[in-house]
C-alpha cells in the first residue's frame, strides 16, 4: 500500500479537487473542499496533474527507474515529453534524485 502521510493526502486531494472545479457548476464542491473554482490554463492543469502523479509515485516508494518504466508504457502522444519532465522534476523535489536515490 502507498504511504500517504497527512501532507501527501492533503496535497493530492487539493490538486484533484481543483482539477474538478473548472466552472461555477462546481462552486459547492469547491467551497466544500476549500479550492478555487474557475478555468485553469493548460500550464496550471498540467502542474496539478504532475503534482498528483509525482506524489502518488513517491507514496508507492518508487525510484526514478520505476517512474521511467511507467512513463515508457505511454506513447509520446498520450504523455508528451514536457509533461514527463514536469513529473520527473516534481518527483525529484519530493526526495528522489534522477539517479533513483531516495533523499527524504
pLDDT digits (tens, 9 = 90+) for 3-52: 889 999 999 999 999 999 999 999 999 999 999 999 999 999 999 999 99
How do the domains of the chain map onto residue ranges? Answer: 6-93
Give Cα separations from 54 to 18, 22, 27, 98 (angstroms): 17, 22, 27, 13
pLDDT digits (tens, 9 = 90+) for 51-81: 999 999 999 999 999 999 999 999 999 999 9
* pLDDT value at 92 more than 80: yes
pTM: 0.87
- Give the closest residue to 20 by CA, choosing from 47, 6, 40, 41: 40
The rounded distance, in Å, linking the Cα atoms of 67 and 74 is: 12
Amino acid at each position: 500500500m502507498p504511504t500517504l502521510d497527512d501532507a501527501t493526502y492533503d496535497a493530492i486531494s487539493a490538486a484533484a479537487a481543483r482539477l474538478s472545479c473548472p466552472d461555477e457548476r462546481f462552486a459547492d464542491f469547491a467551497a466544500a473542499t476549500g479550492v478555487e473554482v474557475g478555468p485553469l490554463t493548460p500550464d496550471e492543469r498540467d502542474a496539478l496533474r504532475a503534482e498528483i502523479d509525482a506524489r502518488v509515485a513517491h507514496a508507492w516508494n518508487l525510484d526514478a527507474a520505476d517512474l521511467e518504466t511507467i512513463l515508457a508504457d505511454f506513447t509520446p502522444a498520450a504523455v508528451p515529453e514536457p509533461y514527463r519532465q514536469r513529473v520527473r522534476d516534481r518527483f525529484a523535489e519530493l526526495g528522489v534524485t534522477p539517479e533513483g536515490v531516495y533523499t527524504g
